[in-house]
Amino acid sequence: MICYIFLSYGAKPKASVLDHPAASNQLTRLRCFAQKRPDTRVEYVSDYSRSVRNLDSLPKLRQVLYWFHGQSMGLIILDDLARIFRKAPLSCRDVLLEELKIFGDYILSLRHGKKLSDFTDRDIKLLLLHPEKSKSGSAGRVRWNTGKARKASAISRTARSREVKNEIRGLQQKLQRERGPLTLQAIADEANCLGLRTSRGKEWTRQTIGRALE
CA 100-104-106 angle, 5° bins = 110
Distant-in-sequence, close-in-space partners of 143: CB < 8 Å, separation ≥ 6: 137
pLDDT class of 139 with cuts at 50, 70, 90? very low
pLDDT the model gives residue 141: 43
Choosing from 144, 170, 200, the residue where a domain stops is 144
- Name the packing angle between helices 146-179 and 184-193 (round to 10°): 110
Segment (H or E) for 67: helix 59-71
Range of the domain at 184: 147-212
Number of domain units in the chain: 2
Choosing from 86, 120, 144, the residue where a domain stops is 144
pLDDT the model gives residue 13: 84
| One domain for residues 181 and 169 | yes
| One domain for residues 104 and 170 | no
pLDDT mean over 100-118? 95
Choosing from 106, 122, 144, the residue where a domain stops is 144
- Does 185 score more than 80 pLDDT? yes
| One domain for residues 15 and 100 | yes
| One domain for residues 106 and 204 | no
- Does 37 score more than 80 pLDDT? yes
- Does 136 score more than 60 pLDDT? no
Q: Determine what percent of the chain is predicted with pLDDT higher than 70.
A: 89
pLDDT the model gives residue 108: 96
| One domain for residues 98 and 159 | no
| One domain for residues 126 and 169 | no
- Does 140 score more than 50 pLDDT? no
- Is residue 109 helix, strand or coil? strand
Distance CA 57, CA 112 (A): 23
pLDDT class of 166 with cuts at 50, 70, 90? confident
Which of 15, 18, 78, 22 shows the shortest CA–CA distance to 50? Answer: 22
CATH number at residue 88: 3.40.50
